[in-house]
């Protein structure tokens, strides 16, 4: 202002105006910034209040969740105590129970698989999910060690029981677990009995040997150490008492001996072939759980089963071995059929293990006698025999070795003990008389009455020459042979089903069936080559052969042959223990 006055007095008003404008702008800017700061402070205060309210709400919800967990836990405990009462309250009327809404079967299985914890059959049972994954090798080594102590080096279903007089003698010497522990850990060399009186591992041999499916390397020092420890506690034969409680005084002594000797022997490298993890040797809790699971759960269950029915364990063991042999035979036949492009109707039958026969070893003939399935028709039997013949011919062309388990047909059929039938296979797999004796519901669930698989027995099935009908697809084969094959079968349940569905479905095909015309009975299910029961392999065979229905000449006069003292008297003519008959 003063500068403008000095330079030009006429510009005094203009300079004054400019100064006023500048002052006004500066003042406005200051006031605006102050207002912004005030509004920001207010927003911060509001945000703090909101956060405080949210924290309070979260704490309230957490308290409610904790209260809910306490209630559910109390309900579970009350539910276990009142399990017998809840079972009595189950309605006996199925219709009354069926009124309740239940999820589908597939949904229940998924929920059980992903959401429910696995339930134990016994309090001492140890589940795989409860132990570390790398503990399995140590667990198996402990099981083998227990078998060695128990004298179960050779395979046997049931362990020996302790002598009652020895149990009485042991109870007179000890009154609590501390006395047993002190006697086992004693360094004075004092023993309650002489080592010569200890019978455990008396006949055991040192060196590397196979126990079950495992290989162990046992030294003579291990046997001496175990017998020395048994003599300290006065046990002549190591054998837990499965009739007493798991934590009885005598069973605790057996547990102490087993775990102490296992830790010592495992550290010395006796179970290195089993890849035992040595870091778990000091985890006594895991070792105790594994010991209880094997001795007081698995072996006790076998002991109780044997008391109820003598020989039950041996029968179950033999049945399991036979079933595994059937599974191997099923896989071998199915792979051969897939490699040789068999029609889908045959693959459907071969993929079910229950469609295959079992066998029994005959020691005097060193061969396996094939047993007869009561639910398998003559056409199916001829098919399986010819299939085995083709497999043998293919092996000869490929230069393969003969089978180590020769299977032969006996002159007098031996009935199989397996009664479970395959499901939804072609109807001609079953004998007509056997099928007609079933109820309507059983016929529908067991057989697929809209599909046939085998050429009639009285027709060209007994011919040795290749029949072109064998190469027909399921649909064409069904159209040609369905009426002939199903004539002796009672399919009245199919007629009842069609009459009930007249209002809902188109029954033109069923009406054509009554007129005697050819119909299309093929469905998408029969075109599948594998139903998931057996793995599908694409192995190439040297000779791509189809199944040919051969004549079984050995069966013509099988029972008219003169009696001989030898395998020919037991098996059919043409017996060869190194060839599949």
Per-residue pLDDT tens over the stretch 159-218: 778 888 888 888 888 888 888 888 888 877 778 888 888 888 887 777 777 666 666 777
Q: What is the pLDDT of residue 204?
A: 74
SS3 417: coil
- 378-398 and 312-339 helices, crossing angle to 10°: 70
pLDDT tier for residue 365 given thresholds of 50, 70 and 90: confident
Q: What is the pLDDT of residue 222?
A: 85
pLDDT tier for residue 95 given thresholds of 50, 70 and 90: very low
For residue 145, give Cα distances in angstroms to 140, 201, 209, 261, 270.
Answer: 9, 12, 13, 9, 10
Assess whether pLDDT exceeds 60 at residue 369: yes
Q: What is the pLDDT of residue 273?
A: 81
Q: What is the pLDDT of residue 516?
A: 35
Give the CA diameter of the chain: 157
Q: What are the pLDDT digits (tens) for 118-140?
A: 577 788 888 888 888 889 999 99
Over residues 502-519, mean pLDDT: 40
Assess whether pLDDT exceeds 90 at residue 502: no
Q: Where are the alpha helices (DSSP H) in 351-414?
A: 378-398
pLDDT tier for residue 514 given thresholds of 50, 70 and 90: very low
Chain CA centroid to CA 227, Å: 39
Q: What is the pLDDT of residue 206?
A: 72
Q: What is the pLDDT of residue 193?
A: 87
N-to-C CA span, the chain = 129
Measure the CA–CA gap between 560 and 573, rounded to whole angstroms.
11
The average confidence (pLDDT) of the chain is: 74
> Of how many residues is the chain composed?
581
Q: What is the pLDDT of residue 512?
A: 39
Q: What is the pLDDT of residue 262?
A: 93
Can you give the residue ranges of every domain in the chain?
A: 1-55, 128-310, 329-420+455-570
Over residues 1-6, mean pLDDT: 53
Assess whether pLDDT exceeds 70 at residue 433: yes
Q: What are the pLDDT digits (tens) for 283-306?
A: 999 999 999 999 999 998 888 888
Q: What is the pLDDT of residue 289?
A: 93
Q: Using CA of residue 257, residue 259, residue 262, residue 263, what is the dihedral sign?
A: negative
Q: What are the pLDDT digits (tens) for 260-270?
A: 999 998 888 88
Q: What is the pLDDT of residue 353?
A: 93
Which residue reads 């035979």 in tokens? 329
Over residues 486-498, mean pLDDT: 75
Measure the CA–CA gap between 125 and 131, rounded to whole angstroms.
12
Q: What is the pLDDT of residue 4?
A: 53
Q: What is the pLDDT of residue 425?
A: 93
Q: What are the pLDDT digits (tens) for 52-73?
A: 877 777 878 777 777 766 555 5
Over residues 342-354, mean pLDDT: 93
Contacts 24+ apart (CB under 8 A), 479-482: 479/518, 479/519, 479/520, 479/521, 481/452, 481/455, 481/456, 482/452, 482/521
Q: What are the pLDDT digits (tens) for 537-577?
A: 333 333 333 333 333 333 333 333 444 455 555 565 554 54
């Amino acid at each position: 202002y003063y500068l403008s006055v000095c330079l030009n007095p006429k510009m005094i008003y203009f300079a004054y105006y400019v100064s006023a404008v500048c002052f006004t702008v500066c003042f406005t800017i200051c006031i605006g910034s102050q207002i912004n700061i005030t509004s920001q402070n207010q927003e911060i205060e509001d945000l703090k209040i909101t956060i405080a309210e949210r924290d309070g709400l979260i704490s309230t919800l957490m308290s409610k969740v904790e209260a809910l967990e306490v209630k559910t836990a109390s309900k579970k405990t009350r539910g276990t105590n009142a399990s017998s009462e809840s079972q009595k309250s189950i309605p006996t009327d199925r219709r009354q129970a069926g009124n309740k809404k239940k999820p589908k079967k597939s949904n229940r299985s998924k929920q059980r698989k992903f959401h429910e914890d696995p339930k134990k059959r016994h309090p001492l049972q140890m589940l795989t999910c409860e132990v570390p994954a790398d503990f399995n090798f140590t667990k198996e080594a402990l099981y083998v060690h227990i078998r060695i102590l128990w004298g179960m080096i050779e395979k046997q279903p049931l362990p020996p029981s302790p002598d009652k007089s020895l149990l009485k003698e042991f109870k007179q010497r000890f009154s609590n677990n501390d006395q047993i522990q002190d006697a086992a850990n004693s360094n004075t060399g004092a023993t309650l009995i002489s080592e010569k009186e200890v019978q455990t591992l008396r006949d055991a041999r040192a060196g590397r040997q196979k126990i079950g499916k495992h290989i162990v390397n046992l030294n003579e020092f291990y046997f001496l150490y175990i017998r020395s420890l048994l003599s300290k506690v006065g046990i002549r034969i190591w054998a837990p008492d499965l009739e007493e409680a798991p934590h009885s005084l005598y069973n605790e002594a057996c547990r102490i001996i087993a775990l102490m000797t296992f830790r010592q022997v495992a550290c010395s490298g006796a179970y290195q072939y089993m890849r035992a993890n040595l870091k778990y040797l000091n985890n006594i809790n895991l070792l105790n759980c594994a010991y209880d699971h094997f001795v007081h759960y698995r072996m006790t269950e076998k002991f109780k089963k044997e008391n109820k029915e003598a020989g039950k364990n041996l029968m179950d063991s033999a049945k399991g071995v036979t079933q595994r042999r059937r599974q191997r035979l099923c896989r071998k036949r199915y792979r051969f059929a897939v490699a040789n492009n068999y029609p889908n109707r045959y693959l459907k039958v071969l993929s079910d293990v229950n469609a295959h026969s079992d066998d029994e070893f005959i020691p005097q003939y060193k061969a396996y006698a094939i047993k007869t399935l009561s639910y398998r028709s003559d056409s199916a039997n001829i098919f399986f025999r010819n299939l085995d013949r083709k497999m043998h011919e293919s092996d000869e062309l490929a230069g393969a070795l003969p089978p180590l388990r020769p299977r032969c047909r006996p002159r007098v059929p031996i009935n199989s003990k397996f009664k479970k039938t395959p499901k939804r296979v072609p109807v001609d797999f079953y004998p007509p008389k056997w099928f007609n004796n079933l109820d309507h519901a059983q016929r529908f669930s067991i057989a697929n009455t809209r599909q046939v698989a085998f050429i009639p027995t009285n027709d060209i099935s007994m011919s040795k020459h290749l029949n072109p009908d064998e190469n027909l697809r399921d649909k064409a084969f069904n159209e040609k042979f369905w009426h002939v094959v199903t004539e002796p079968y009672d399919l009245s349940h199919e007629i009842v089903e069609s009459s009930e569905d007249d209002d809902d479905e188109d029954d033109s095909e069923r009406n054509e069936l009554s007129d005697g015309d050819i119909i299309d009975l093929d469905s998408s299910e029969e075109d599948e080559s594998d139903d998931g029961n057996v793995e599908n392999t694409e192995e190439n065979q040297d000779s791509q052969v189809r199944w040919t229905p051969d004549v079984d000449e050995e069966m013509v006069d099988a029972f008219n042959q003169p009696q001989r003292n030898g395998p020919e008297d037991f098996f059919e003519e043409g017996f060869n223990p190194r060839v599949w008959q």
